[in-house]
């Protein structure tokens, strides 16, 4: 039996529409609109496209944009000064420093100093620590997107065997923490895992975040399992996930395609995070939809 496909594009659209309604309601209640600041150093075309996409998506839902672009030779101190200003600016709810930065700028070091309340990427050490300890905080966007896809499909997580392949700070680790917080029994795999295929076959929920095209074979999938493919790999045949989709879809119950699965969720969750950050900054109770 072929798996049902999870339509990440449609779910992301739905999240974005909901954020737009919630931003409008927030403003109607007399609050300032949320603001998203992006800081881009240099003129890398791919980074410019990412930043432009985030600003466009923000504007579409009524989030104010603060789009800072610095030349390739901007100094570390200049970028630091802008980030400090943004950290203290009450109109700015969320700050993103686009990485990588040119070599004279310690991008990772500066990004780590973004205050936790404005860390809408959820990737600073403080946000990561809050997540690991199960305390409130902003969570990374792609992992949040994965959880939203699972929630929308009522995938049972309590007591379920979840296997996450990949342990990066960006994807694997935070997804594992979120699944653990949802009471799944989580196994985290990596490049030194012994008999990866056998571990994957245990999974009720299998998350692939490796960066190797079609590495997860169809016969690694437990019949009826939910398979979430975070991988985005450019190959000669186009964009490919980490899962060998067709054979995996023969065995899975639910599966995300690539493209059109996890990918579109990241920006949607960034918008949601920005609204959440604005609400938290105003010390308003967070709406039930956000819990
Ligand atoms: P990463 O930092 O390179 O991490 C890859 C992880 O996979 C590492 O933990 C590595 O293990 C593990 N790994 C590598 N080879 C393996 C193998 N043969 N067996 C088992 N594990 C192995 O990559 P990432 O940033 O997490 O990204 C993973 C994928 O997700 C990429 O394709 C990326 O493009 C995609 N991605 C998509 C989105 C989205 O919006 N959909 C967002 C972010 C990333 P070690 O730790 O032992 O090295």
Substitution site in 6, 163, 172 for ligand 1 pocket (most atoms within 8 Å of beta carbon): 172
Q: Please tell me whether residue 162 adopts helix, strand or coil conformation.
A: strand
Ligand 1 atom with least separation from CA of 241: 32
- Portion of the chain with pLDDT greater than 70, in percent: 97
Whether the CB of 262 sits within 6 Å of ligand 1: yes
Distance 30 CA to ligand 1 centre (A): 43
Q: Measured between alpha carbons, how far is 179 from 151 in angstroms, rounded to an integer?
A: 11
Read off the pLDDT band of 290 (50, 70, 90). Answer: very low
Question: What is the set of active-site residues?
Answer: 54, 98, 121
pLDDT at 288: 35
Is 0.75 surpassed by the pTM of this model? yes
Distance (angstroms) between ligand 1 centre and the Cα of 47 equals 20
User: CA angle at residue 178 from 120 to 264, to 5 degrees?
Assistant: 55
Distance CA 212, CA 56 (A): 30
Query: Could you tell me if the CB of 263 is within 6 A of ligand 1?
Result: yes
pLDDT attached to residue 1 = 64
**pLDDT mean across residues, the chain:** 96
User: Average pLDDT in the 195-221 region?
Assistant: 98
Give the integer Cα–Cα distance in Å for 289 and 291. Answer: 6
End-to-end CA distance of the chain: 35
Q: Whose CA is nearest to atom 34 of ligand 1?
A: 232
């Amino acid at each position: 039996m072929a798996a049902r496909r999870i339509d990440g594009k449609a779910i992301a659209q739905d999240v974005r529409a909901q954020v737009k309604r919630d931003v409008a309601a927030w403003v109607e209640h007399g609050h300032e609109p949320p603001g998203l600041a992006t800081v881009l150093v240099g003129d890398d075309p791919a980074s410019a496209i990412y930043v432009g996409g985030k600003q466009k998506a923000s504007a579409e839902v009524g989030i104010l944009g603060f789009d800072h672009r610095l030349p390739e030779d901007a100094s570390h101190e200049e970028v630091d000064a802008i980030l400090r200003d943004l950290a203290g600016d009450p109109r700015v709810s969320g700050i993103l420093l686009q990485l990588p930065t040119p070599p004279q700028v310690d991008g990772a070091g500066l990004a780590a100093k973004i205050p936790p309340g404005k860390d809408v990427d959820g990737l600073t050490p403080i946000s990561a620590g809050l997540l690991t300890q199960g305390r409130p905080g902003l969570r990374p966007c792609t992992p949040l997107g994965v959880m939203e896809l699972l929630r929308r499909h009522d995938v049972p997580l309590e007591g379920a065997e979840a296997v996450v392949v990949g342990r990066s700070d960006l994807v694997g680790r935070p997804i594992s923490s979120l699944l653990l917080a949802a009471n799944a029994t989580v196994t985290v795999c990596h490049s030194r895992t012994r008999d990866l295929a056998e571990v994957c076959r245990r999974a009720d929920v299998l998350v692939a975040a490796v960066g190797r095209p079609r590495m997860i074979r169809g016969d690694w999938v437990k019949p009826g399992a939910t398979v979430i493919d975070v991988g985005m790999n450019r190959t000669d045949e186009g964009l490919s996930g980490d899962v060998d989709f067709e054979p995996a879809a023969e065995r899975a119950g639910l599966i995300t395609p690539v493209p059109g699965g996890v990918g579109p969720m990241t920006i949607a969750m960034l918008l949601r995070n920005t609204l959440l950050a604005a609400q938290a900054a105003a010390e308003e109770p967070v709406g039930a939809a956000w819990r």
